[in-house]
Amino acid sequence: MIFKEELEARVGAVQEIIYRYLPQTQGYQKQLAQAMNYSMTAGGKRLRPLFMWETYRLFGGEGAVVEPFMAAIEMIHTHSLIHDDLPAIDNDEYRRGKKTTHIVYGEALAVLAGDALLNYAYETAFRAFAIEPQNAGIVRALQVLAQKTGIYGMLGGQCADVQAAGNAVDAEQLDFIYRLKTGALIEASMMIGAILAGAPDAECKRMEQAAADIGLAFQIQDDILDVISSREELGKPTGSDERNQKTTYVTAHGMETAKAEVARLSGRAVETLASFDGKNEFLEELIRSLISRRY
């Protein structure tokens, strides 16, 4: 099977897992569940749960204990997208080719849907105890999930990103924003996959560094696509960085340097993955594909 077909098959399998953990649309809070599920079923690359699953496999994981965490990481990611799209932040009307949550359900319910997904993510992750109660890695995985999501992770990066809009941003601050806002959840995904599979602490640390490289490369490629891609390809408006007066890697360093950095970081991440005793050729190819993606 060629890589593109294999990717589609594995994303489909990831999506089936995620859908099993979505909230029921019933009761007085039914509309909140509908808004949550609207955003969760809007498509997307499902990269974070896919990274988690493939890292779990890399270290020999075979059970279902990883599945609640896969759903949880996608819920956290989707929560961040709902809030990013709000008028108070990026004010975007389209995401993944569909109208954003606040356009469909209104701002108040969009705020609540984002909040609810963040909370429901942890409720979902805790289900891992019922699947594999003897797995000592679950507690550590929950610690990583919480840390990489909060003020010292994704939310801290989002805060710095909002405060930087319209202001001059130096290279150190831009790197901070990218490593936390985008990189932290990818780091969480791959570290959790390794932890749940029983990888030693030293290997989990090396995986964290590889994931940091992947996250930074992914965000720089997003900057590139915001300039060169189209709304049809991305599923959302392009040029939003310029419209919101954001400093990006492209505006700070130029297009060619940005492209070279994506290649360098992705290459280093693949080298790190290849150095582990276990092998996952699909995961390595997935990282390489990030260099040439147009969406």
pLDDT, mean of residues 258-277? 94
Q: What is the pLDDT of residues 84-136, one digit of tens each?
A: 999 999 889 998 889 999 999 999 999 999 999 999 999 999 999 999 999 99
Predicted pLDDT at 165: 82
176 has a pLDDT exceeding 70? yes
Give me the CATH number covering residue 93.
1.10.600.10
pLDDT, mean of residues 273-291? 92
Kindly report the three-state secondary structure assignment for every residue of the chain: CCHHHHHHHHHHHHHHHHHHCCCCCCCCCHHHHHHHHHHHCCCCCCHHHHHHHHHHHHCCCCCCCHHHHHHHHHHHHHHHHHHHCCCCCCCCCEECCEECHHHHHCHHHHHHHHHHHHHHHHHHHCCHHHHCCCCCHHHHHHHHHHHHHCCCCHHHHHHHHHHHCCCCCCHHHHHHHHHHHCHHHHHHHHHHHHHHCCCCHHHHHHHHHHHHHHHHHHHHHHHHHHHHCCHHHHCCCCCHHHHCCCCCHHHHHCHHHHHHHHHHHHHHHHHHHHCCCCCCHHHHHHHHHHHHCCC
Predicted pLDDT at 244: 58
Percent of the chain with pLDDT over 90: 82
Mean of all residue pLDDT scores within the chain: 92
240 has a pLDDT exceeding 90? no
Predicted pLDDT at 231: 56
Predicted pLDDT at 243: 58
pTM of the predicted protein model: 0.93
Q: What pLDDT band is residue 290 in, cutting at 50, 70 and 90? A: confident
Q: What pLDDT band is residue 1 in, cutting at 50, 70 and 90? A: low
Predicted pLDDT at 291: 78
Q: What pLDDT band is residue 247 in, cutting at 50, 70 and 90? A: confident
Q: How many residues does the chain have?
A: 295
> For residue 46, what are the domain limits?
3-292
The domain total for the chain is 1
Predicted pLDDT at 61: 97
Q: What pLDDT band is residue 292 in, cutting at 50, 70 and 90? A: confident
Predicted pLDDT at 81: 96
Q: What sign does the dihedral 101-106-107-111 (CA atoms) show?
A: negative
Q: What pLDDT band is residue 40 in, cutting at 50, 70 and 90? A: very high
